[in-house]
């Protein structure tokens, strides 16, 4: 008997059929818990101006544009 959390994760596609068949209950619960975290907005940082073509991270005080 699998738990409700595992069933829900299976229906949402976070757990595959092969995993359901082969893995023990505790591991399936761990997978369901782990993939239940909420994700935020993915941000990309782009350097602007003279810094744009330089290697490495931007220096303090330089302008950085954040795309979402």
- Shared domain for 20 and 44, answered yes or no, is no
Question: Same structural domain for residues 30 and 44?
Answer: no
CB 29 within 8 A of CB 14: no
Res. 54 pLDDT band, cuts 50 70 90: confident
Any idea which residue has 């008997």 for tokens? 1
- Phi-psi category of residue 36: left, alpha or beta, with phi > 0 → left and psi -120 to 50 → alpha: alpha
Position 28 confidence tier, pLDDT thresholds 50, 70, 90: very high
Closest among 51, 53, 1, 48 to 28, alpha carbons compared: 1
Residue 18's domain comprises 4-34
Residues 45 and 60 in one domain: yes
Which residues, in sequence order, are bridge partners of residue 44? 67
For residue 15, the tally of other CB atoms under 10 A from its CB is 21
Q: At 58, is the pLDDT very low, low, confident or very high (cuts 50, 70, 90)?
A: confident
pTM of the model: 0.51
Residues 44 and 68 in one domain: yes
């Amino acid at each position: 008997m699998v738990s409700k959390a595992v069933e829900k994760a299976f229906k949402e596609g976070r757990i595959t059929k092969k995993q359901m068949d082969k893995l023990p209950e505790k591991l399936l619960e761990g997978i369901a818990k782990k993939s239940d975290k909420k994700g935020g907005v993915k941000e990309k940082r782009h350097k602007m101006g003279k810094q744009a073509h330089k290697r490495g991270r931007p220096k303090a005080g330089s302008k950085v544009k954040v795309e979402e």
